[in-house]
Amino acid sequence: MPAHVPLQFYGEPLPGIDTSELQGKLIVIEGPDAVGRSTQVTQLRLWLEHMGHAVLDTGMARSALAGKGIQQAKEGNTLAPLTMTLFYTTDFADRLENEIIPALRAGFVVLTDRYIFSIMARAIARGWDPKWIADVAGFALIPHAVYYLRADVPDLVSRVVLGRGAFDYWESGMDMRFGKDMHDSFVKYQAKLIRALDRMVKPYNFDVIDASKPPDAIFKELQKRISGFYDTPTSG
């Protein structure tokens, strides 16, 4: 395994955090809705645990502080755009302070299904200033790796139709009514999210994965890249 490199914050650090104590690894799986992030995170967790790593699997809207409130608001379709952005940012801040940082301090591999980048992309898609949301997100730790599962909108539509058979209100950006119906709004909203994420590739050092491939092929590619990062074999 490569020598430990202390994690850093993008902007103003959280008070009282000595980053030299964070001995674990922070790995982010990013991408638009319906691209298959959760499936890959689950498989990666099992694989890394089989290799002997302690793993924390986390993701958006799972915090003790804000997760339940987000789910309740989404069920009633009552989140205004700015409220949604700040609600998800609060959720992330709570998970960062109370889950991610303690796990890193304990030497865990932290696998997170999305990170602050999805919150930023959603805000940008809804018309908020990119610099403003980047400043808001500045308290985030810089991950060791960000694997961006990139697919075009037609691939996402196919996954929704073949997988769930129906479009989700929030994944379609229906709070903003980007289109005349759920399908049309999904297409336009996801295109905006992909453009926003694409613009983050260089500034945030994303490692791009072609997510138009079958899930097994994507997993093997992730294994290959993470194996090089951890000096861990792809099979045991």
In a domain, 4, yes or no: no
What pTM value is reported for the model?
A: 0.92
Sign (positive or negative) of CA dihedral 78, 199, 89, 55: positive
pLDDT digits (tens, 9 = 90+) for 37-96: 999 999 999 999 999 999 999 998 788 888 888 888 888 767 788 888 998 999 999 999
Give the angle subtended at the CA of 219 by the CAs of 141 and 104, to the nearest 5°: 25
Share of the chain above pLDDT 90, in %: 77
The whole domain housing 90 covers: 19-230
What CATH number is associated with residue 78? 3.40.50.300
Order of strands across the sheet with 55-59?
55-59, 109-113, 25-30, 145-150, 207-210
* Overall domain count for the chain: 1
pLDDT digits (tens, 9 = 90+) for 120-170: 999 999 999 999 999 999 999 999 999 999 999 999 999 998 888 899 999
In a domain, 119, yes or no: yes
In a domain, 27, yes or no: yes
